[in-house]
Chain A
């Protein structure tokens, strides 16, 4: 059903239909609900009902925007005039001449899977979270735990005066559990998180209830575990760490606006240079990386990006060789490189820039038992807890919640505080085995920060478990 804001936007666009200059309007209406139960006590629920419009104009080849939460017709008119004034103020000081997108006649409506299934009401959600919280056993060492859920429903309507009309109806769910264990001296934390598009099935069909008991048990195991030993080992990274590894050391370095220098004052640059595409060996032959907006249920599946570019699957790295960066229409024009439909804004109040959307590692052919069986002297690491990487996205250090030593092809003792260091440009060449589809998980992150002004966006990642040879591994101090 069309909202009042959408009707208002359509009426306003009619007044711009015959303007000689390009005009686009992007309306975002987002409702979210955050519910939590902490140590079996319901926390006060919080809602967010956000609504606003980003206007974009092109005047004499200069692009400018104006954002407003005033979506009345006079408010939209004022935003349009401010965008035009801003474009005129550039007067030869613009970095690029902006190409006009060819969006003529585009009509699309993307819908999250199972969008028609009704969601439980607040009382039912809270009952589920309470039941989950109560699964945590009564152990004095378990000092803190919570079960949380955020449900986000968003409608974005993009209109332009070339006739494009792109509606995106997304529903995202973010259930999570966290448990802290403390022995009087030291503490350990174990978590479980899901981030997907779809219906309540994301929560109810993923064994959320049972996960609370497992997470609590593992927090207690970590409390008793020795520190991760220091030295070189083969490392088996589980999907909930792989998503961070992909994100930081493939996703960010391949963002074309970073390569073009836009982010040098904040998020940073990239060790990847434009001349590398088509021949640079990024990883071993086993590495295949895709930008894939078509994976059902993945967090950022969509039909078009926020500037109306049609989104389709592209391999960014094929058999270890770098193929193309992630850059939207403008970055493609600036660099003369191919790209993908990834021009995205975090909300109505920020302009689109090059972002990751769904960035995945294609599954290989090894089962989990084959992956473990292939390791003589190694360690399994799961669930990211710490990440740090240099501004060129090269030297990194990542830490996980859970470690388990692997000896002669068999999983062994649990170890705490597992960390590893590496350099992106060398790391992916050490990829020695890729898990098959049975090891693959569709995940995502709700907060990827970048851009000036700052923008935090959702990003989807899917990955199988993977093995890397001879990494520098170490533990904590205590």
Chain B
């Protein structure tokens, strides 16, 4: 399907559906489609390659205060898709017949339109494979290339309509040396530039050279540490699951519950904002609410939470465009004063951590996290990189890492693009500084 066919197919379905409604019925539609190319690499060669054409439509049928939804795959062919959508409507009507009124249904019936198209220049498959395999000559490279156009659409029977379309390419890869040390890199762009990729490869190759020194084995204990933006991204991604959700606060499941209750605080250096206005995500959500920028933490204090329409109705809060899970998708942490160029000098002796991995809670109530170092983590002495370290486990509370033990944030922020592709390619991104910590506790 061509780009314009996705948009017109969605519009045609929306139009068709309006005429299928029975009296007093309403609908919302969420459309997510992609025409993607995935290429998976190992040892600098192609391990697996395939395009994916997938169209998903989520229809919610509403009758009074009763509602239910269904997600279906579409073919893009009108006759087939309307037949399927018709069957789905029948199925949903059967469910509505047995449902009581939902006390927490809150509908957004405002009339709005939104359209954003971000054109991109994605290279031909042959060119990508030749280019990446060429750059990988003599290197043990493993990674994933994902590219193509993503489509998101919303419509409802009250007339609101949104369309979001963006083309981009993302290459996420690691270079390994013979001892298993690795450097991880990411290149994502709407306007693919082979020269930029080549430069990044060269930089990673140089970094890999620094890892050739034999690993140092550290004992458990507390170490001064610097978390590069990608490592801090892992911490915030873990918190993103439910720590900022209005529902999780109300249910006492949020990891930041003690911050919410005023029993703990973070460092005054921490300012965190969910900022969809600057991200890659569409400006509208699944339920038709425009997504809003929301201050979450200001000078270490919790000042906001993510509230969807259901939480508004259930907990008497003001909705701010959060999705069903009330998860942030475009977090921005304000920068600090530390120049990135001065990080090693300010670190002095301690750990330079490029990436963290596999975080989870040791104790949710006290926001205590555990996880592993991964990819290019170094021991530093007197501002000089000495050697990579053996993989180590940390275990520390967020109230220490981003609270009492936080010394500085870097002046420069980095864009951390989510390379996740569960079910479909994502559009999440975080903009974060690096963080210098007085202590990080290593346990194993």
Q: Is A265 a contact of B184 with CB atoms below 8 Å? A: yes
Tell me the chain A residues, 50-73 only, with Cβ under 8 Å from chain B.
Answer: 50-52, 54, 63-72
- Provide the bound-state CA to CA distance between A454 and B421, in Å: 5
* Surface stretch bound by B, among A160-168, A295-303, A391-399, A463-471: A391-399
Contact-residue bracket for chain B = 35 or more
Please indicate the chain A residues that have their CB under 8 angstroms from the CB of B75 in the complex. Answer: 69-72, 75
Task: Say whether B40 faces chain A, with CB atoms less than 8 Å apart.
Answer: yes
- Provide the bound-state CA to CA distance between A200 and B261, in Å: 43
Shortest Cβ distance from B50 into chain A, in angstroms?
4
Say whether, besides A49-B71, A71-B75, A453-B144, A93 and B129 are in contact (CB < 8 Å).
Answer: yes
- Provide the bound-state CA to CA distance between A260 and B48, in Å: 14
* Surface stretch bound by B, among A78-86, A317-325, A368-376: A78-86
Please indicate the chain B residues that have their CB under 8 angstroms from the CB of A388 in the complex. Answer: 358-360, 370-372, 393
Q: Is B362 a contact of A476 with CB atoms below 8 Å? A: yes
- Provide the bound-state CA to CA distance between A476 and B365, in Å: 8
Task: Say whether A204 faces chain B, with CB atoms less than 8 Å apart.
Answer: no
Please indicate the chain A residues that have their CB under 8 angstroms from the CB of B257 in the complex. Answer: 187
Task: Say whether B146 faces chain A, with CB atoms less than 8 Å apart.
Answer: yes
Shortest Cβ distance from A247 into chain B, in angstroms?
13
Please indicate the chain B residues that have their CB under 8 angstroms from the CB of A45 in the complex. Answer: 68-69, 95, 99
Which of B69, B71, B184, B365 is the one whose CB lies under 8 Å from A478?
A: B365
Q: Is A391 a contact of B372 with CB atoms below 8 Å? A: yes
Which of B41, B48, B53, B364 is the one whose CB lies under 8 Å from A69?
A: B53
Q: Is B133 a contact of A93 with CB atoms below 8 Å? A: yes
Say whether, besides A86-B49, A180-B253, A386 and B361 are in contact (CB < 8 Å).
Answer: yes
Give the most central of B40, B144, B146: most A CB within 10 Å.
Answer: B40
Interchain Cβ contacts under 8 Å between A and B, 26 examples: A44-B68, A45-B95, A45-B99, A47-B70, A47-B71, A47-B91, A49-B71, A54-B50, A69-B74, A86-B51, A91-B129, A95-B45, A126-B98, A144-B251, A180-B252, A187-B257, A349-B52, A351-B48, A386-B370, A387-B360, A391-B391, A449-B422, A452-B40, A453-B146, A476-B363, A477-B397
- Provide the bound-state CA to CA distance between A95 and B42, in Å: 7
Task: Say whether B20 faces chain A, with CB atoms less than 8 Å apart.
Answer: no
Task: Say whether B431 faces chain A, with CB atoms less than 8 Å apart.
Answer: no
Task: Say whether A419 faces chain B, with CB atoms less than 8 Å apart.
Answer: yes
Question: Count of chain A residues with Cβ under 8 Å from any Cβ of B?
Answer: 85
Q: Is A477 a contact of B363 with CB atoms below 8 Å? A: yes
Please indicate the chain A residues that have their CB under 8 angstroms from the CB of B84 in the complex. Answer: 49
Binary contact readout A96-122 vs B (1 if CB under 8 angstroms, 0 otherwise): 100000000000000000000000011
Say whether, besides A182-B252, A390-B393, A44 and B69 are in contact (CB < 8 Å).
Answer: yes
Say whether, besides A75-B77, A391-B391, A397 and B53 are in contact (CB < 8 Å).
Answer: no
- Provide the bound-state CA to CA distance between A268 and B368, in Å: 24
Q: Is B252 a contact of A143 with CB atoms below 8 Å? A: yes
Please indicate the chain B residues that have their CB under 8 angstroms from the CB of A96 in the complex. Answer: 47
Residue of A nearest to B92 (CB): A47
Q: Per DSSP, are chain B's interface residues mostly helix, strand or loop, or mixed?
A: strand
Shortest Cβ distance from A423 into chain B, in angstroms?
8
Task: Say whether B323 faces chain A, with CB atoms less than 8 Å apart.
Answer: no
Q: Is B51 a contact of A66 with CB atoms below 8 Å? A: yes
Task: Say whether A211 faces chain B, with CB atoms less than 8 Å apart.
Answer: no
Task: Say whether A421 faces chain B, with CB atoms less than 8 Å apart.
Answer: yes
Residue of A nearest to B75 (CB): A70
Shortest Cβ distance from A439 into chain B, in angstroms?
27
Task: Say whether B374 faces chain A, with CB atoms less than 8 Å apart.
Answer: yes
Say whether, besides A70-B77, A86-B51, A264-B182, A187 and B253 are in contact (CB < 8 Å).
Answer: yes
Shortest Cβ distance from B434 into chain A, in angstroms?
22
Which of A64, A69, A397, A453 is the one whose CB lies under 8 Å from B393?
A: A397
Task: Say whether A245 faces chain B, with CB atoms less than 8 Å apart.
Answer: no
Q: Is B46 a contact of A70 with CB atoms below 8 Å? A: no
Say whether, besides A41-B104, A90-B49, A395-B393, A69 and B362 are in contact (CB < 8 Å).
Answer: no
Binary contact readout B380-414 vs A (1 if CB under 8 angstroms, 0 otherwise): 00000000000101010100000000000000000
Say whether, besides A46-B70, A75-B75, A86-B125, A143 and B142 are in contact (CB < 8 Å).
Answer: no
Residue of B nearest to A79 (CB): B53
Residue of A nearest to B88 (CB): A49
Binary contact readout A119-145 vs B (1 if CB under 8 angstroms, 0 otherwise): 001110010000000000000000110
Shortest Cβ distance from A397 into chain B, in angstroms?
5
Task: Say whether A17 faces chain B, with CB atoms less than 8 Å apart.
Answer: no
Q: Is B42 a contact of A262 with CB atoms below 8 Å? A: yes
Shortest Cβ distance from B33 into chain A, in angstroms?
9
Residue of B nearest to A68 (CB): B53
- Provide the bound-state CA to CA distance between A380 and B180, in Å: 37
Which of A42, A51, A477 is the one whose CB lies under 8 Å from B368?
A: A477
Task: Say whether B346 faces chain A, with CB atoms less than 8 Å apart.
Answer: no
Which of B48, B67, B359, B366 is the one whose CB lies under 8 Å from A44?
A: B67
Task: Say whether B443 faces chain A, with CB atoms less than 8 Å apart.
Answer: yes
Which of A46, A66, A82, A95 is the one whose CB lies under 8 Å from B68?
A: A46
Task: Say whether A186 faces chain B, with CB atoms less than 8 Å apart.
Answer: yes
Residue of A nearest to B375 (CB): A391
Shortest Cβ distance from A427 into chain B, in angstroms?
12
- Provide the bound-state CA to CA distance between A89 and B127, in Å: 9
Please indicate the chain A residues that have their CB under 8 angstroms from the CB of B172 in the complex. Answer: 265, 452
Give the most central of B103, B143, B370: most A CB within 10 Å.
Answer: B370
- Provide the bound-state CA to CA distance between A59 and B92, in Å: 45
Task: Say whether A333 faces chain B, with CB atoms less than 8 Å apart.
Answer: no
Please indicate the chain A residues that have their CB under 8 angstroms from the CB of B342 in the complex. Answer: none
- Provide the bound-state CA to CA distance between A395 and B77, in Å: 51
Please indicate the chain B residues that have their CB under 8 angstroms from the CB of A49 in the complex. Answer: 70-73, 84, 88
Q: Is A82 a contact of B51 with CB atoms below 8 Å? A: yes
Q: Which 3 A-B pairs have the closest CB atoms?
A: A476-B363, A65-B50, A452-B144
Please indicate the chain A residues that have their CB under 8 angstroms from the CB of B374 in the complex. Answer: 390-391
Give the most central of B47, B67, B126, B180: most A CB within 10 Å.
Answer: B47
Please indicate the chain A residues that have their CB under 8 angstroms from the CB of B67 in the complex. Answer: 44
Please indicate the chain A residues that have their CB under 8 angstroms from the CB of B80 in the complex. Answer: 72
Please indicate the chain A residues that have their CB under 8 angstroms from the CB of B100 in the complex. Answer: 42
Say whether, besides A67-B53, A69-B54, A144-B251, A48 and B70 are in contact (CB < 8 Å).
Answer: yes
Please indicate the chain B residues that have their CB under 8 angstroms from the CB of A475 in the complex. Answer: 363
Say whether, besides A50-B72, A82-B51, A122-B98, A453 and B421 are in contact (CB < 8 Å).
Answer: yes
Q: Is A477 a contact of B366 with CB atoms below 8 Å? A: yes
